[in-house]
Amino acid sequence: MKPLHVCAAVIFLSLASATVGGQDKTYKIIVNPSNPMVSITRENVSRIFLKKTTKFPNGLNASPVDLPANSGTRESFSKDVLGKTAASVEGYWQQLIFSGRDVPPPQKKEGGVLDFVRSNDNGIGYVSASTDTTGVKVVTVTQF
């Protein structure tokens, strides 16, 4: 009987983790439609938004645009992709600004993010999952 319990527990945990991992995100990553990219790793998105790189994995230049720091969508994106709270990300940028090393991506409301990405071939941003993304391309974020 013990092996049956172990097997049942393994199946239950596998299904539970698949459900959690498969939950819909509260945001969508968007790029300009001219960008041939269809997916990007979470690590690459993080590096672009923290300006640790200025290029997409395909070699094209990347120009990120952020939502305002008080946005719930930004908080979700920051925790999920950057591994930090939005407040921690603001602190990160304050240190870089103070040291003269870099400035953060511009911050715009959702309509401004969409406009920026639509009009900028190198644009990358994120919007809430419910936002109409006509005129931009939604890309899939992969773990690896």
Site of tokens 């974020």: 141
Q: Pick the residue with more confidence: 18 or 81?
A: 81
pLDDT per residue as tens digits for the range 86-140:
999 999 999 999 999 999 999 999 999 999 999 999 999 999 999 999 999 999 9
Burial of 116 (0-12, 13-18, 19+ CB in 10 A): buried
pTM: 0.82
Q: Please list the alpha-helical segments (H only) found in the chain.
A: 2-21, 42-49, 72-77, 86-98, 110-119
What average pLDDT does the chain have?
87
pLDDT at residue 139, as a whole number? 97
Domains and CATH numbers, the chain: 25-142 (3.40.190.10)
